[in-house]
Amino acid sequence: MIHKMAFCPVVTGFAHLSCMGASDEEALAVFRGERPRPEPRPACSVIDSAIPDQVFHIDSFRTAPGELRTLAMIRAVVPRALEAAGLTPDMVRGSATGCVVGTTVAQQFTDTSYYGLLRNNPDTEENAPIEQFLNSNPAEAIAREYGLNGPVNTVSNACSSGADAISIAALRLLSGQCERMIVVGADELHRTPVAGFHVLGVTSPFPCRPFDSARAGLNLGEAAGAIILEKPECARQRGVKPEFALRGFGMSCDASHITAPDASGNGLRQAFRKALLRAGLNLGDIAFINAHGTGTILNDQSEAAAFAGLAEGSGLPGPPPFLSTKRLSGHTLGAAGTVEFIFTMLMLRDGLIPASPGCRTPDSALPCTPLTSPLTLPPEARFAASTSLAFGGTDAVLIAERMD
């Protein structure tokens, strides 16, 4: 039994970094078609990888030799999100502020060079890479650096990690365990997932085309997003008038397959219904859906089935308009859920939803198809959803509210 939330956590600040840029204006300009779309390049040309698959790499973001890229990206977005929320590091130090980071690459030891050294010489006295790993768990590192006194979690739920991080933060706030959460989703392009998705045969040789009849798979990418989520009274006491709130969230799992989503979309549909119940909303209240939309055959089939199934019996002629932004940023794994929730808020603010990027000929075999032309939202549009699916069968839905 899902209950409507006692209060809706408010978003007092956010920041993002992806191939679309690092500012709201840059990202919105891409959505509006005022800036060229970022283009993917072969993985082997931008990271240490033998794989030629097309990926979205943030060339403008440089890291020093030995610096862990995901953590560096997190360190780039968190201060900007705090500043946007009107917070200084001193204001959060020692406060009931927690941190939850969704990531995949950054929580696993992936230093193959060091592993090779250890494999060849088990008695090596070199430990520096392990010590660096122990000190770099993302949520723990951020909590230490900012002296946070609230709950701390690094969540690694594969490609829904970023969305689940937001849900976890909401649960922490709703339970009264803290007043404020710094929520991050972040992942770098890395040799391991690039090789892994390649061998699974789900990568596209060309820029991805979510929901298109000729879609051939996904393009991996890298990104980081940070959101400051607070109890409403906490924001009020600081004199902050939030522009957005997390109106609802829902989590479920398919219990079907370890990598492939359930083509029926049942798990995602269940998560969506939970999110609507928590939000106290109906499907018709949702102005648009920013879908996970990876561009793989099965993901898009599963999501379209879920959206169409939600509309059945709702009295609506079909599901809310939907799009995928992955043609613009790539599939950014643990970052995707957070960054795409931020994109959802930006589009709600802008009131202009682009035609689903990369979808030229919608797949007529799908029970519903994405936006094929830009949509101007009516002024009363206040709610939008963002969906995530992941290995392990995880499904996550977040509902954003634009506040008056």
> Which helix (H) or strand (E) is 268 found in, with range?
helix 266-279
Binding to other proteins (CB under 8 A) within 52-111 occurs at: 104, 107-109
Q: Would you count residue 282 as binding other proteins (CB under 8 A)?
A: no
Q: Would you count residue 198 as binding other proteins (CB under 8 A)?
A: yes
Q: Would you count residue 115 as binding other proteins (CB under 8 A)?
A: yes
Active site residue 57: no
Bridge-based pairing of strands 152-155 and 97-102 is parallel
Nearer to other proteins, 43 or 85 (CB): 43
* CB 214 to other proteins: min, Å: 24
Binding to other proteins (CB under 8 A) within 171-190 occurs at: 171-172, 174-177
**Which residues are 290's β-sheet partners?**
323, 386
Helices (H), 181-265: 191-199, 232-237
Nearer to other proteins, 123 or 380 (CB): 123
End-to-end CA distance of the chain: 30
Nearer to other proteins, 177 or 361 (CB): 177
Nearer to other proteins, 153 or 386 (CB): 153
Q: Would you count residue 205 as binding other proteins (CB under 8 A)?
A: no
> Which residue in 16, 57, 198, 292 is the catalytic one?
292
Residue length of the chain: 404
Hey, is 230 helix, strand or coil? strand
> Which helix (H) or strand (E) is 300 found in, with range?
helix 297-311
Active site residue 16: no
Q: Would you count residue 164 as binding other proteins (CB under 8 A)?
A: yes
Residue carrying structure tokens 């250890």: 118
Give the count of residues interacting with other proteins (CB under 8 A).
Answer: 67
d(CA 387, CA 247): 14
Hey, is 136 helix, strand or coil? coil
283: alpha, beta or left? (left if phi > 0; alpha if psi -120 to 50): alpha
> Which helix (H) or strand (E) is 342 found in, with range?
helix 336-350
Q: Which of 62, 64, 66, 258 binds other proteins (CB under 8 A)?
A: 258
* Sign of the dihedral through C-alpha 378, 380, 382, 384: negative
Q: Would you count residue 273 as binding other proteins (CB under 8 A)?
A: no
Binding to other proteins (CB under 8 A) within 364-393 occurs at: 390-393
Q: Which residues are catalytic?
A: 159, 292, 331
Catalog residues that contact other proteins under the rule CB under 8 A.
Answer: 1-3, 49-51, 104, 107-109, 112, 115-116, 118-119, 122, 127, 130-131, 133-134, 137, 139-140, 151-158, 164, 168, 171-172, 174-177, 191-196, 198-200, 251-259, 266-267, 270, 274, 390-394
